[in-house]
Amino acid sequence: KQEVTQIPAALSVPEGENLVLNCSFTDSAIYNLQWFRQDPGKGLTSLLLIQSSQREQTSGRLNASLDKSSGRSTLYIAASQPGDSATYLCAAPGNYGQNFVFGPGTRLSVLP
């Protein structure tokens, strides 16, 4: 059974810092992994999808890496801005790859 954890649970940084969010999963037989952003009271917005054959995926100031052998993924945010404040969730395939299992999220606050 796939289990996903995220560290840290919450993070508060001053504007301009580079930061790393961590995601761990127990079943490494995955086809892909997805990172999402969730603003308060809103749904989930897809940020990045990393295929199992890829090691990294980039979108603007965001870079996600995937290491299947160690069961880990990291989301790197460069030059953080107050607008980056949100909860970041990672999701890995579960149930033999049929659907997505979510971690609890990392709540990020970027202070101006």
Partner 1 sequence: EAGVAQSPRYKIIEKRQSVAFWCNPISGHATLYWYQQILGQGPKLLIQFQNNGVVDDSQLPKDRFSAERLKGVDSTLKIQPAKLEDSAVYLCASSFGTGRDLNTEAFFGQGTRLTVV
Q: Which residues sit at the interface with partner 1, rule CB under 8 A?
A: 4, 30-32, 34, 36, 41-46, 49, 51-53, 89, 91, 93-105
Of 8 and 31, nearer to partner 1 (C-beta) is 31
* Least distance (Å) between residue 75 CB and partner 1: 15
* Least distance (Å) between residue 15 CB and partner 1: 25
* Least distance (Å) between residue 56 CB and partner 1: 15
Of 19 and 49, nearer to partner 1 (C-beta) is 49
Token look-up 């299992």 returns 101
Residues in CB range of 98: below 8 A, 6 or more apart: none
Cα distances (Å, whole numbers) of residue 18 to 78, 80, 88: 5, 6, 15
State how far the Cα of 102 lies from the Cα of 81, in Å rounded to an integer.
25
Of 53 and 69, nearer to partner 1 (C-beta) is 53
Of 3 and 15, nearer to partner 1 (C-beta) is 3
* Least distance (Å) between residue 51 CB and partner 1: 4
Q: How many CA atoms lie within 13 A of 99 on its CB side?
A: 4
State how far the Cα of 40 lies from the Cα of 82, in Å rounded to an integer.
14
